[in-house]
Amino acid sequence: MSSSKIALVTGATRGIGFETVRQLASNGVHVLLAGRDRGKAVEASLKLQAEGLSVEAISLDVTRADSITSAAQEIAQKHGKLDILVNNAGVFRDDAERKPSEQSLDTWRETFDTNVFGVVATTQAFLPLLKLAPSARIVNVSSILGSVAANADPASPIYDFKVPAYNVSKSAVNAWTVQLAHELRDTNIKVNAVHPGSVKTDMNSHGELEVADGAKTSVRMALLDDAGPNGGFVYFEDTLPW
């Protein structure tokens, strides 16, 4: 079993996931950079290895049970534990030209398959390895768009931004975070949801934050000490409304 911290970041070949890998590795963590396309995961890992960082590519499609199982077995054999799981993989499939009631069921299903069921399935598969770590952390990348309170508040800056499949999927991620954190409250594992902010990525062309800032909350919660929160929804240092 490795003595250094081992982290797995899903959906990490670009954007916030890629930057989360960079920042974790810069903090001395050995990071498994996961992507659906192994070639892209290898390419991304080589870029970070060229910076002198301890990064390893792994193939992982969170929508496929066989891919998740294979990744879990590979990590168990190579590392014997997992200290950090960052559930970062996500999709945005809503049609901006359609009202909430007009979004197709395929849009809902595809969104939930990755954003919700993928998070649950990946967490279930890696929980045994997380339990073998001295002090493990699970970070679920959510969004303020998943805040039911903010969506219902006319004074909220996101009140008029209704992309239902995505928003509701992140509400479900938040609810899952609360359920799992309660289950693990007396263990060595802390579980938290994070809002990265409005970040300039391929998924969000109108973002305000640089990608480096968008990864900071995930990294902070991944490296949380034992006095840190469990079952929270955070953005930088702020606690967000559910």
Average pLDDT, rounded, for the chain: 95
Q: Is residue 84 part of a domain?
A: yes
* pLDDT of 1 strictly over 70: no
Annotated catalytic residue 235: no
For residue 80, being part of any structural domain is answered with yes
Please say if the pLDDT value at position 117 is more than 90. Answer: yes
- Alpha helices by DSSP H, listed for 31-187, are 38-49, 65-79, 105-112, 118-130, 148-152, 164-183
- What's this model's pTM, rounded to 2 decimal places? 0.95
Residue among 166, 211, 216, 232 flagged as catalytic: 166
Number of independent structural domains in the chain: 1
* Tens of pLDDT, residues 38-47: 999 999 999 9
pLDDT at 202 over 80: no
Give, in order, the Cα–Cα distances in Å from 14 to each of 42, 88, 111, 121, 154: 12, 11, 19, 22, 34
| CATH number for position 174 | 3.40.50.720
Does 210 map to a domain?
yes
Structural domain contains residue 40 = yes
- Residue 1 maps to a domain: no
Residue 160 lies in domain: 6-239
Question: pLDDT tens for residues 211-236?
Answer: 899 999 999 999 999 999 999 999 99
